[in-house]
Structure 1
């Protein structure tokens, strides 16, 4: 303890508390009321701002959901996406012929066949794995049509499926 503290303690011991006048009750109540009022106003404003932000976020989320529903409706109206194509079997059968063309020297191989070979090898991988997981077919079609992958993954998650399986199907 410092010297000041000891002197203060000694003075307080010598003071008769019954002779000291009481604090003004009206003034004390006014301070407490002011404190409570300002804190309640602050909390009400804070709550109002939070609620407004949540409502704005909810509106944006509803707009995104409506856009996804419209997109799904548009995708379901495309007949090529709703029916399985028998052309996938032809692509798998033509793969050995395409590999034989790759063994030819580049001068002999026509340049128009090279891009076709690349697209056929890419399209055969998803079809092989799609047969094992038919519930992911429409999501793969959404990605092929041009829907952003992250949006499709979000939709896969909302459907209760694993978004990582979609990555495996797409070969990414």
Structure 2
């Protein structure tokens, strides 16, 4: 401390008699602090932007590979026939479920019966709808359900059909 010509402050010293710190020195400390803080924040922002850019590139590659996979799946001719057979089986199962729902809904109020019928008809119409055909095919081939839902949401389709 004596090297800097600063007095040692003790509790018994009157602070009014202690000379103030040199203003140039105080300003240089503040400037040093500000420049180092700004440098750190700039490096941090750059690092964050680089990571976001990397993740964006990875996401674009993933989307591109998903598009390639979809095109490969659509090029397989045997899947369409199997899908039609499967959709017929699904329709038969849906109608049997619809009959079960109708039997159960006899004791329930009318509004729930209408809701369940609407859902069942929605599922049946979606199974026949060509827009949903490729998504059902994707599920049949083994594409994860969550990925199919995400793709459906991107194209603005109802994902509750998959349930």
Q: Distance in 2 between matches of 1:91 and 1:21?
A: 94
8 A contact 2:126–2:132 mirrored in 1: no
Instruction: Detail structure 1 runs of 4+ shifted over 3 Å in the superposition.
Output: 19-23, 80-92, 126-129
In the alignment, does 2:119 pair up with 1:130? no
Deviations 1:95-136 (A, max 9, x none): 9xxxxxxxxxxxxxxxxxxxxxxxxxxxxxx877512x4321
Alignment of 1:85-104 (within 5 A): none
Report the alpha carbon displacement of residue 89 of structure 1 after superposing the two structures with TM: 9.7
| Superposed counterparts of 1:142-161, under 5 Å | 142-161=138-157
Which residue of structure 2 aligns with residue 65 of structure 1? 63
What SS class does the counterpart of residue 160 from structure 1 fall into?
coil
- CA displacement 1:63-83 (0-9 Å, x = unmatched): 110111101110121224457
Distance 1:80 1:127, change over 3 A: farther
Structure number with greater Rg is 1
Distance in 1 between the 2:31 and 2:139 partners? 62
TM superposition shift of 1:35: 1.1
1:77 to 67, 75, 78: 75
In the alignment, structure 1 residue 29 sits paired with structure 2 residue 24:
no
- Aligned residue in 1 for 2:43: 45
Calculate the TM-score normalised by the size of structure 1: 0.57
Matched length? 121
> What are the ranges of 5 or more consecutive residues in structure 1 without an aligned counterpart?
1-10, 96-125, 168-172
Q: Structure 2: state its 5+ residue gaps.
A: 1-13, 94-122
